[in-house]
Chain A
Amino acid sequence: MNPQTPLSEGTERLTRQLVLQLKPVERFKIWSHLWPYAAVGCAVVVSSAFFVGLRPGLAEAALALPFVLETLLLAGLALLFGYWSLGLGIPGRSRSPGRLTLLALSLMGIWLLFIGSRALVARDGWFDVTSAAYVSLPCVFELVVVGALPVVFLRQRVRALAPTAPGKTFFLVTAAGLFFGAFALQLTCPMDTSGHLFVWHFLPLFALAAVAVLLGKRFLKW
Protein backbone atom coordinates (compact mmCIF):
# COMPACT_ATOMS: atom_id res chain seq x y z
CA MET A 1 0.00 0.00 0.00
CA ASN A 2 1.80 3.06 -1.24
CA PRO A 3 0.85 6.17 0.74
CA GLN A 4 -0.05 7.86 -2.55
CA THR A 5 -2.57 5.19 -3.59
CA PRO A 6 -6.24 5.92 -2.95
CA LEU A 7 -7.92 4.72 0.22
CA SER A 8 -9.01 1.11 0.35
CA GLU A 9 -12.62 0.09 -0.18
CA GLY A 10 -12.94 -0.90 3.50
CA THR A 11 -11.66 2.45 4.78
CA GLU A 12 -13.94 4.37 2.44
CA ARG A 13 -16.92 2.30 3.55
CA LEU A 14 -16.04 2.91 7.19
CA THR A 15 -15.71 6.65 6.59
CA ARG A 16 -19.15 6.73 4.95
CA GLN A 17 -20.66 4.79 7.86
CA LEU A 18 -19.12 7.13 10.43
CA VAL A 19 -20.50 10.15 8.58
CA LEU A 20 -23.95 8.56 8.54
CA GLN A 21 -23.71 7.84 12.27
CA LEU A 22 -22.70 11.40 13.10
CA LYS A 23 -24.70 13.01 15.88
CA PRO A 24 -24.09 16.32 17.61
CA VAL A 25 -21.96 15.89 20.73
CA GLU A 26 -21.54 18.06 23.75
CA ARG A 27 -18.01 19.42 23.80
CA PHE A 28 -16.11 18.33 26.87
CA LYS A 29 -15.24 20.96 29.46
CA ILE A 30 -13.07 20.01 32.41
CA TRP A 31 -14.74 22.32 34.90
CA SER A 32 -18.19 20.94 34.27
CA HIS A 33 -16.86 17.52 35.30
CA LEU A 34 -14.61 18.69 38.09
CA TRP A 35 -17.33 20.28 40.19
CA PRO A 36 -19.56 17.19 40.40
CA TYR A 37 -16.47 15.20 41.39
CA ALA A 38 -15.62 17.78 44.06
CA ALA A 39 -19.21 17.66 45.32
CA VAL A 40 -19.12 13.85 45.58
CA GLY A 41 -15.79 14.01 47.41
CA CYS A 42 -17.00 16.61 49.90
CA ALA A 43 -20.25 14.69 50.47
CA VAL A 44 -18.28 11.55 51.32
CA VAL A 45 -15.99 13.47 53.67
CA VAL A 46 -18.98 14.96 55.50
CA SER A 47 -20.67 11.54 55.71
CA SER A 48 -17.49 10.01 57.08
CA ALA A 49 -17.23 12.74 59.74
CA PHE A 50 -20.85 12.05 60.61
CA PHE A 51 -20.47 8.28 60.91
CA VAL A 52 -16.96 8.06 62.39
CA GLY A 53 -17.23 11.19 64.52
CA LEU A 54 -14.97 14.22 64.58
CA ARG A 55 -11.63 13.88 66.35
CA PRO A 56 -11.42 15.15 69.90
CA GLY A 57 -10.12 18.71 70.13
CA LEU A 58 -10.95 19.52 66.51
CA ALA A 59 -12.37 22.92 67.51
CA GLU A 60 -9.04 23.98 69.07
CA ALA A 61 -7.01 22.44 66.25
CA ALA A 62 -9.08 24.32 63.70
CA LEU A 63 -7.87 27.56 65.22
CA ALA A 64 -4.25 26.69 64.49
CA LEU A 65 -3.09 27.94 61.10
CA PRO A 66 -0.93 24.90 60.18
CA PHE A 67 -3.88 22.56 60.71
CA VAL A 68 -6.15 24.71 58.55
CA LEU A 69 -3.49 24.97 55.84
CA GLU A 70 -2.87 21.23 55.88
CA THR A 71 -6.59 20.50 55.58
CA LEU A 72 -6.95 22.93 52.70
CA LEU A 73 -3.85 21.44 51.11
CA LEU A 74 -5.39 17.94 51.09
CA ALA A 75 -8.62 19.25 49.58
CA GLY A 76 -6.56 21.19 47.03
CA LEU A 77 -4.55 18.09 46.11
CA ALA A 78 -7.77 16.12 45.58
CA LEU A 79 -8.98 18.81 43.18
CA LEU A 80 -5.62 19.29 41.47
CA PHE A 81 -5.18 15.57 40.79
CA GLY A 82 -8.79 15.35 39.64
CA TYR A 83 -8.29 18.26 37.24
CA TRP A 84 -5.05 16.77 35.96
CA SER A 85 -6.57 13.33 35.33
CA LEU A 86 -9.51 14.87 33.45
CA GLY A 87 -7.02 16.87 31.39
CA LEU A 88 -5.18 13.66 30.48
CA GLY A 89 -8.46 12.36 29.09
CA ILE A 90 -8.12 14.84 26.24
CA PRO A 91 -5.64 13.60 23.62
CA GLY A 92 -2.77 15.96 22.96
CA ARG A 93 -3.81 18.42 25.64
CA SER A 94 -1.04 17.76 28.14
CA ARG A 95 1.99 17.25 26.01
CA SER A 96 4.22 19.15 28.39
CA PRO A 97 2.57 19.04 31.78
CA GLY A 98 5.71 20.38 33.44
CA ARG A 99 3.98 23.10 35.44
CA LEU A 100 1.32 20.74 36.77
CA THR A 101 3.88 18.14 37.76
CA LEU A 102 5.92 20.76 39.55
CA LEU A 103 2.86 22.11 41.33
CA ALA A 104 1.68 18.65 42.40
CA LEU A 105 5.14 17.62 43.59
CA SER A 106 5.54 20.88 45.50
CA LEU A 107 2.18 20.45 47.22
CA MET A 108 3.00 16.87 48.17
CA GLY A 109 6.36 18.06 49.47
CA ILE A 110 4.54 20.64 51.57
CA TRP A 111 2.26 17.92 52.96
CA LEU A 112 5.35 15.90 53.92
CA LEU A 113 6.77 19.01 55.57
CA PHE A 114 3.57 19.42 57.57
CA ILE A 115 3.81 15.79 58.67
CA GLY A 116 7.50 16.09 59.50
CA SER A 117 7.08 19.38 61.33
CA ARG A 118 5.08 17.62 64.06
CA ALA A 119 8.13 15.54 64.93
CA LEU A 120 10.22 18.67 65.33
CA VAL A 121 7.63 20.67 67.25
CA ALA A 122 6.17 18.02 69.54
CA ARG A 123 9.19 15.68 69.50
CA ASP A 124 6.76 12.81 69.06
CA GLY A 125 7.95 9.34 68.31
CA TRP A 126 8.65 8.15 64.76
CA PHE A 127 9.25 4.64 65.93
CA ASP A 128 6.04 3.70 67.71
CA VAL A 129 4.21 3.19 64.45
CA THR A 130 4.38 -0.60 64.18
CA SER A 131 3.36 -1.25 67.77
CA ALA A 132 0.27 0.85 67.17
CA ALA A 133 -0.75 -1.04 64.03
CA TYR A 134 -3.98 -2.38 65.50
CA VAL A 135 -5.21 1.11 66.30
CA SER A 136 -3.89 2.56 63.06
CA LEU A 137 -5.33 0.10 60.57
CA PRO A 138 -8.81 1.67 60.71
CA CYS A 139 -7.21 4.77 59.20
CA VAL A 140 -6.25 2.82 56.09
CA PHE A 141 -9.74 1.36 56.00
CA GLU A 142 -11.31 4.82 56.23
CA LEU A 143 -8.91 6.17 53.62
CA VAL A 144 -10.00 3.48 51.17
CA VAL A 145 -13.71 3.57 51.98
CA VAL A 146 -13.97 7.36 51.76
CA GLY A 147 -11.73 7.51 48.69
CA ALA A 148 -13.53 4.73 46.81
CA LEU A 149 -16.58 6.69 45.71
CA PRO A 150 -14.68 9.70 44.33
CA VAL A 151 -12.30 7.28 42.57
CA VAL A 152 -15.18 5.39 40.95
CA PHE A 153 -16.94 8.62 40.02
CA LEU A 154 -13.84 10.19 38.52
CA ARG A 155 -12.88 6.99 36.72
CA GLN A 156 -16.30 6.94 35.03
CA ARG A 157 -15.82 10.52 33.89
CA VAL A 158 -12.28 9.96 32.64
CA ARG A 159 -13.18 6.73 30.89
CA ALA A 160 -15.84 8.54 28.89
CA LEU A 161 -13.01 10.68 27.48
CA ALA A 162 -10.01 9.36 25.57
CA PRO A 163 -7.08 8.85 27.95
CA THR A 164 -3.96 8.10 25.91
CA ALA A 165 -1.77 7.45 28.99
CA PRO A 166 -4.03 5.11 30.99
CA GLY A 167 -1.47 4.09 33.63
CA LYS A 168 -0.56 7.63 34.58
CA THR A 169 -4.18 8.77 34.35
CA PHE A 170 -5.45 6.03 36.63
CA PHE A 171 -2.65 6.82 39.10
CA LEU A 172 -3.93 10.41 39.22
CA VAL A 173 -7.57 9.31 39.47
CA THR A 174 -6.79 7.01 42.40
CA ALA A 175 -4.59 9.53 44.18
CA ALA A 176 -7.24 12.25 43.68
CA GLY A 177 -9.98 10.15 45.25
CA LEU A 178 -7.75 9.00 48.09
CA PHE A 179 -6.81 12.59 48.88
CA PHE A 180 -10.46 13.00 49.85
CA GLY A 181 -9.89 10.02 52.16
CA ALA A 182 -6.87 11.78 53.66
CA PHE A 183 -8.98 14.92 53.98
CA ALA A 184 -11.60 12.95 55.94
CA LEU A 185 -8.89 11.44 58.15
CA GLN A 186 -7.65 14.93 58.92
CA LEU A 187 -11.03 15.60 60.52
CA THR A 188 -11.62 12.25 62.20
CA CYS A 189 -8.29 10.63 63.09
CA PRO A 190 -7.32 11.34 66.71
CA MET A 191 -3.67 10.35 66.23
CA ASP A 192 -1.43 13.20 65.31
CA THR A 193 2.12 11.87 65.44
CA SER A 194 4.42 12.17 62.44
CA GLY A 195 5.08 8.45 62.32
CA HIS A 196 1.40 7.61 62.28
CA LEU A 197 0.56 10.18 59.62
CA PHE A 198 3.43 9.11 57.41
CA VAL A 199 2.98 5.35 57.69
CA TRP A 200 -0.81 5.12 57.88
CA HIS A 201 -2.03 8.11 55.87
CA PHE A 202 0.68 9.11 53.40
CA LEU A 203 2.21 5.75 52.43
CA PRO A 204 -1.05 3.79 51.86
CA LEU A 205 -2.32 6.55 49.63
CA PHE A 206 0.71 6.39 47.37
CA ALA A 207 1.01 2.62 47.55
CA LEU A 208 -2.56 2.24 46.30
CA ALA A 209 -2.02 4.89 43.64
CA ALA A 210 1.13 3.04 42.52
CA VAL A 211 -0.87 -0.17 42.16
CA ALA A 212 -3.35 1.80 40.06
CA VAL A 213 -0.63 2.45 37.47
CA LEU A 214 -0.70 -1.25 36.65
CA LEU A 215 -4.49 -1.35 36.45
CA GLY A 216 -4.86 1.71 34.25
CA LYS A 217 -4.99 -0.13 30.96
CA ARG A 218 -7.79 -2.35 32.21
CA PHE A 219 -9.85 0.25 34.00
CA LEU A 220 -9.53 3.07 31.52
CA LYS A 221 -10.01 1.11 28.33
CA TRP A 222 -11.87 3.05 25.66
Chain B
Amino acid sequence: MANPPREISERDRELSRLMGRSQVGDGAAYEVVLNETAVMLKRYLYRRVADEGAREDVLQEILLSVHKARHTFDPNLSYKTWLFSIARFRLIDYYRKSNRQRSREISQDSFEDFFTQEEGAERETDRLDPEVLLKALDALPPAQKEAVDRLKYREQSVREAAEAMGRTESSVKVLAHRGYKALRKVLLKRGEGE
Protein backbone atom coordinates (compact mmCIF):
# COMPACT_ATOMS: atom_id res chain seq x y z
CA MET B 1 0.00 0.00 0.00
CA ALA B 2 1.40 3.42 -0.91
CA ASN B 3 2.41 5.83 1.78
CA PRO B 4 0.04 8.68 2.34
CA PRO B 5 1.45 11.70 0.52
CA ARG B 6 3.61 13.63 2.97
CA GLU B 7 4.96 17.13 2.89
CA ILE B 8 7.89 17.24 0.54
CA SER B 9 10.22 20.13 -0.06
CA GLU B 10 10.06 22.25 -3.19
CA ARG B 11 13.45 20.94 -4.35
CA ASP B 12 12.33 17.36 -3.80
CA ARG B 13 9.20 18.03 -5.83
CA GLU B 14 11.34 19.51 -8.58
CA LEU B 15 13.62 16.46 -8.58
CA SER B 16 10.56 14.20 -8.77
CA ARG B 17 9.34 16.16 -11.77
CA LEU B 18 12.75 15.99 -13.46
CA MET B 19 12.99 12.26 -12.79
CA GLY B 20 9.53 11.86 -14.30
CA ARG B 21 10.83 13.60 -17.42
CA SER B 22 13.91 11.37 -17.41
CA GLN B 23 11.63 8.35 -17.53
CA VAL B 24 10.38 9.51 -20.92
CA GLY B 25 13.95 10.03 -22.16
CA ASP B 26 14.77 13.68 -21.35
CA GLY B 27 18.58 13.59 -21.11
CA ALA B 28 18.99 17.17 -19.85
CA ALA B 29 16.59 16.54 -16.96
CA TYR B 30 18.37 13.30 -16.18
CA GLU B 31 21.75 14.99 -16.07
CA VAL B 32 20.48 17.51 -13.52
CA VAL B 33 18.95 14.70 -11.44
CA LEU B 34 22.10 12.58 -11.49
CA ASN B 35 24.43 15.45 -10.64
CA GLU B 36 22.28 16.53 -7.74
CA THR B 37 21.87 12.92 -6.65
CA ALA B 38 25.64 12.42 -6.66
CA VAL B 39 26.11 15.49 -4.45
CA MET B 40 23.40 14.33 -2.02
CA LEU B 41 24.90 10.86 -1.88
CA LYS B 42 28.35 12.22 -1.26
CA ARG B 43 27.04 14.03 1.80
CA TYR B 44 25.09 10.96 2.88
CA LEU B 45 28.08 8.65 2.59
CA TYR B 46 30.63 11.02 4.10
CA ARG B 47 30.04 9.93 7.69
CA ARG B 48 28.97 6.41 6.87
CA VAL B 49 31.95 5.07 4.91
CA ALA B 50 35.37 5.87 6.28
CA ASP B 51 37.53 4.73 3.39
CA GLU B 52 37.60 7.26 0.58
CA GLY B 53 38.00 4.75 -2.24
CA ALA B 54 35.22 2.56 -0.88
CA ARG B 55 32.99 5.62 -0.50
CA GLU B 56 33.49 6.46 -4.15
CA ASP B 57 32.70 2.85 -5.12
CA VAL B 58 29.50 2.83 -3.05
CA LEU B 59 28.45 6.17 -4.53
CA GLN B 60 28.88 4.87 -8.07
CA GLU B 61 27.14 1.62 -7.18
CA ILE B 62 24.14 3.61 -5.94
CA LEU B 63 24.10 5.77 -9.08
CA LEU B 64 24.03 2.61 -11.20
CA SER B 65 21.19 1.22 -9.09
CA VAL B 66 19.26 4.46 -9.50
CA HIS B 67 19.70 4.18 -13.26
CA LYS B 68 18.64 0.54 -13.27
CA ALA B 69 15.59 1.10 -11.08
CA ARG B 70 14.39 4.37 -12.63
CA HIS B 71 11.24 2.71 -14.02
CA THR B 72 10.07 2.05 -10.44
CA PHE B 73 9.98 5.73 -9.55
CA ASP B 74 6.58 7.36 -9.21
CA PRO B 75 6.84 11.12 -9.92
CA ASN B 76 3.93 11.77 -7.55
CA LEU B 77 6.04 10.60 -4.63
CA SER B 78 9.18 11.97 -3.01
CA TYR B 79 12.36 11.47 -5.03
CA LYS B 80 14.52 11.62 -1.93
CA THR B 81 12.57 8.85 -0.17
CA TRP B 82 12.99 6.65 -3.23
CA LEU B 83 16.66 7.51 -3.63
CA PHE B 84 17.64 7.00 0.00
CA SER B 85 15.84 3.66 0.16
CA ILE B 86 18.13 2.49 -2.63
CA ALA B 87 21.15 4.16 -1.03
CA ARG B 88 20.49 2.50 2.34
CA PHE B 89 20.06 -0.88 0.66
CA ARG B 90 23.35 -0.59 -1.24
CA LEU B 91 25.14 0.73 1.84
CA ILE B 92 23.99 -2.25 3.93
CA ASP B 93 25.16 -4.47 1.10
CA TYR B 94 28.56 -2.80 1.23
CA TYR B 95 28.77 -3.20 5.04
CA ARG B 96 27.91 -6.88 4.75
CA LYS B 97 30.46 -7.46 2.01
CA SER B 98 33.25 -5.64 3.79
CA ASN B 99 32.49 -7.43 7.08
CA ARG B 100 32.56 -10.76 5.32
CA GLN B 101 35.81 -9.88 3.61
CA ARG B 102 37.36 -8.68 6.86
CA SER B 103 36.41 -11.87 8.66
CA ARG B 104 38.06 -13.93 5.91
CA GLU B 105 41.21 -11.87 5.69
CA ILE B 106 44.10 -12.05 8.09
CA SER B 107 45.80 -8.71 8.33
CA GLN B 108 49.31 -8.24 7.04
CA ASP B 109 50.38 -7.15 10.54
CA SER B 110 49.38 -10.46 12.02
CA PHE B 111 51.51 -12.23 9.39
CA GLU B 112 54.43 -10.07 10.23
CA ASP B 113 53.95 -10.66 13.96
CA PHE B 114 53.68 -14.36 13.36
CA PHE B 115 56.82 -14.49 11.28
CA THR B 116 58.76 -12.23 13.64
CA GLN B 117 57.83 -14.45 16.58
CA GLU B 118 58.88 -17.44 14.59
CA GLU B 119 62.17 -15.82 13.63
CA GLY B 120 62.74 -14.76 17.22
CA ALA B 121 62.23 -18.28 18.45
CA GLU B 122 64.57 -19.58 15.81
CA ARG B 123 67.25 -17.04 16.61
CA GLU B 124 66.97 -17.96 20.25
CA THR B 125 67.55 -21.60 19.65
CA ASP B 126 69.91 -20.87 16.77
CA ARG B 127 68.81 -23.99 15.07
CA LEU B 128 67.66 -22.54 11.76
CA ASP B 129 69.50 -24.61 9.24
CA PRO B 130 69.07 -23.09 5.72
CA GLU B 131 68.98 -26.54 4.21
CA VAL B 132 66.16 -27.60 6.47
CA LEU B 133 64.29 -24.41 5.69
CA LEU B 134 64.74 -24.91 1.96
CA LYS B 135 63.53 -28.47 2.28
CA ALA B 136 60.49 -27.31 4.23
CA LEU B 137 59.83 -24.63 1.61
CA ASP B 138 60.09 -27.19 -1.19
CA ALA B 139 57.53 -29.35 0.56
CA LEU B 140 54.94 -26.54 0.37
CA PRO B 141 52.37 -26.47 -2.44
CA PRO B 142 53.72 -24.28 -5.30
CA ALA B 143 51.32 -21.38 -4.74
CA GLN B 144 52.08 -21.20 -0.99
CA LYS B 145 55.77 -21.44 -1.68
CA GLU B 146 55.63 -18.60 -4.19
CA ALA B 147 53.61 -16.42 -1.82
CA VAL B 148 56.09 -16.93 1.06
CA ASP B 149 59.02 -16.43 -1.27
CA ARG B 150 57.72 -13.16 -2.69
CA LEU B 151 56.57 -11.67 0.62
CA LYS B 152 59.39 -12.83 2.86
CA TYR B 153 62.49 -13.27 0.75
CA ARG B 154 62.00 -10.88 -2.14
CA GLU B 155 60.31 -8.48 0.32
CA GLN B 156 57.56 -7.57 -2.10
CA SER B 157 54.39 -5.89 -0.85
CA VAL B 158 51.16 -7.90 -0.85
CA ARG B 159 49.92 -5.84 -3.80
CA GLU B 160 53.09 -6.45 -5.82
CA ALA B 161 52.97 -10.16 -5.06
CA ALA B 162 49.29 -10.34 -5.97
CA GLU B 163 49.93 -8.61 -9.30
CA ALA B 164 52.87 -10.86 -10.09
CA MET B 165 50.92 -14.00 -9.19
CA GLY B 166 47.74 -12.90 -10.92
CA ARG B 167 45.72 -13.31 -7.71
CA THR B 168 43.80 -11.06 -5.36
CA GLU B 169 45.57 -9.55 -2.36
CA SER B 170 43.40 -11.53 0.05
CA SER B 171 44.24 -14.75 -1.72
CA VAL B 172 47.98 -14.02 -1.49
CA LYS B 173 47.65 -13.27 2.24
CA VAL B 174 45.81 -16.51 2.83
CA LEU B 175 48.36 -18.51 0.81
CA ALA B 176 51.24 -16.94 2.71
CA HIS B 177 49.55 -17.57 6.04
CA ARG B 178 49.07 -21.22 5.23
CA GLY B 179 52.66 -21.43 4.06
CA TYR B 180 53.97 -19.90 7.31
CA LYS B 181 51.83 -22.26 9.30
CA ALA B 182 53.13 -25.30 7.45
CA LEU B 183 56.73 -24.10 7.81
CA ARG B 184 56.24 -23.52 11.51
CA LYS B 185 54.90 -27.02 11.95
CA VAL B 186 57.90 -28.56 10.16
CA LEU B 187 60.40 -26.47 12.09
CA LEU B 188 58.78 -27.13 15.45
CA LYS B 189 58.69 -30.84 14.75
CA ARG B 190 62.36 -30.74 13.92
CA GLY B 191 63.05 -28.78 17.11
CA GLU B 192 61.22 -31.36 19.22
CA GLY B 193 63.06 -34.15 17.44
CA GLU B 194 66.44 -32.77 18.39
Contacts and interface: CB of A to CB of B under 8 A. Distances in A.
Interface residues of B, number: 43
Contacts of B43: 3
Nearest to B84: A92
A112 to B, nearest CB: 23
Interface of B is mostly: helix
Contact of A3 (B42, B67, B73, B82): B42
A8 B46 CA distance: 14
A96 B2 CA distance: 9
Contacts of B22: 22
B63 A18 contact: yes
A27 B56 contact: no
- Interface extent on A, as a size class? 35 or more
A60 interface: no
A96 to B, nearest CB: 7
Contacts of B86: 91-92, 162, 164
Contacts of B69: 91, 161-162, 222
Contact of A93 (B3, B34, B89): B3
A168 B81 CA distance: 20
A18 B81 contact: no
B1 A100 contact: yes
A174 to B, nearest CB: 20
Interface of B: 1-3, 22-25, 27, 30-31, 34-35, 38-39, 42-43, 46, 52, 55-56, 59-60, 63-65, 67-74, 77-78, 81-86, 88-89
